[in-house]
Amino acid sequence: MQRILLIEDDKGISDMVAEYLLNEEFTVEQAFDGDSALRYFKEDTFDLVLLDIMIPFLDGMQVMKEIRRNSVVPILIISARDSESDKAMGLGFGADDYITKPFSLVE
């Protein structure tokens, strides 16, 4: 079973995405801030990271930089920030794709 680390500070969005992924038979670990996200990542193995960049404590870009120091796990940024420069920065720091909010769960 594939394991996904979902990093999203909005509990409603996080729960909605997690529920959808669980119904699709993924295992999901939810983190609501950058510190806990890195702690979960260091303690376990994940097949995919879904990462909001506007999270408390360590922001998503800092989390991604830390993950990229030791891992090539696929990272998908999910963010309300939709400017070309935000997308370019996220992809430049190592994200594999960038999805803007609002988004379809099927997407």
**Does pLDDT of 85 surpass 80?**
yes
Record the pTM: 0.93
| Per-residue pLDDT tens digits for 27-44 | 999 999 999 999 999 999
pLDDT band at 87 (very low <50, low <70, confident <90, very high): confident
Instruction: Output the pLDDT for position 107.
Output: 63
Task: Please tell me the least confidently modeled range out of 13-27, 29-43, 92-106.
Answer: 92-106
DSSP state of 42: H
Residue 64 CB coordination number (10 Å): 23
Three-state secondary-structure class, residue 5: strand
Under 8 Å between Cβ of 60 and 35: no
